[in-house]
Amino acid sequence: MKRKRRYKRGYPVAVLVGFEDDHAVLWRIFSRVVKRSLRLELDGKRTDEKVLYNFHESVVSALKPVLKEGVRSVVVAAPVRTTYTQEFLEHIRKRHRYLIQSKSPNRANFAEIIGSADDRIKVAELVKTKEFTNLIAETTSEEADQVVNRLEKHLYGNSNNSFVLYSLKEIEDIVYSRKKGSELKTEYLLLTDKYLIDSKSKNRIHRLLQISKNKQVNTRIVNAETPAGTRISQFGGIVFFATSNKQRTD
């Protein structure tokens, strides 16, 4: 019973950052629920450039661990007739450009929406809007396309040290045997939501996802109905690809 409750939230989809006059609230968006992460206070007045700079830096610092987990879609929200989201995104463009550069491996997909995300009731209303669901679908689809483009390069590249696996057993073997300081880099585990739902080995898959997260393997669960999901489905619904620091001879 405990295991079922643990996965009730579903899989991570995006991050919602709600900006208010004197604080910001971060929410984790999962496929089934939205959970509050933390609240960050503005320590002073918005008219003070140093105060606003430090506030925006605190938001970026709070986002980094989530981005490191593999969640790359970030929705920023603020009440109508405010410029809070624009100010934050301008800070990103000036101070953290690597987060928006198209070729950066650390790129995140940012999107804006008008509305308050200050408490659970307001967030519940916001995420039900058509604008929000369309925005999430658009940003997560773009994110998935970027990762699948990397997969294509591994499939058709000439490098001997990159490889692709699409057998659950093979993927389990390589992930479970992975050690800190491993010779593997740029590791990605991709699977479709349909594969996760329809699989008869749900416990194995959830264990694989959890261990992948613990071992800092980039993991994405992709909507099977998107172009990226269709491509992953051609591999059976799950695929793992990586580059090794060591030259492969097999």
For the stretch 135-155, pLDDT in tens is 998 888 888 888 898 888 888
Give the C-alpha separation, 183 to 200, whole Å.
32
pTM over 0.85: no
Place 87 in a pLDDT band, splitting at 50, 70 and 90: very high
For the stretch 152-210, pLDDT in tens is 888 876 556 788 999 999 999 999 987 655 656 668 899 999 999 999 998 999 999 98
What's the whole-number mean pLDDT along residues 113-125? 96
Domains 2-128 and 144-244 share a fold: no
Q: Which fold has domain 2-128?
A: Nucleotidyltransferase; domain 5 (3.30.420)
Give the C-alpha separation, 91 to 179, whole Å.
37
Give the C-alpha separation, 139 to 22, whole Å.
27
Q: Which fold has domain 144-244?
A: 60s Ribosomal Protein L30; Chain: A; (3.30.1330)
| Segments making up each domain of the chain, as ranges | 2-128, 144-244
Residue 101 in this model has a pLDDT that exceeds 70: yes
Place 84 in a pLDDT band, splitting at 50, 70 and 90: very high
> Which class for 67: exposed (0-12), middle (13-18), buried (19 or more C-beta within 10 A)?
middle
Give the C-alpha separation, 227 to 60, whole Å.
30
Mean pLDDT (the chain) is 88
83-106 burial, b for 16+ CB within 10 Å, e for fewer? ebbeebbebbeeebeebeeeeeee
Give the C-alpha separation, 176 to 211, whole Å.
7
Instruction: Give the DSSP letter of residue 18.
Output: E
Whole-number pLDDT of residue 140: 87
Instruction: Give the DSSP letter of residue 247.
Output: P
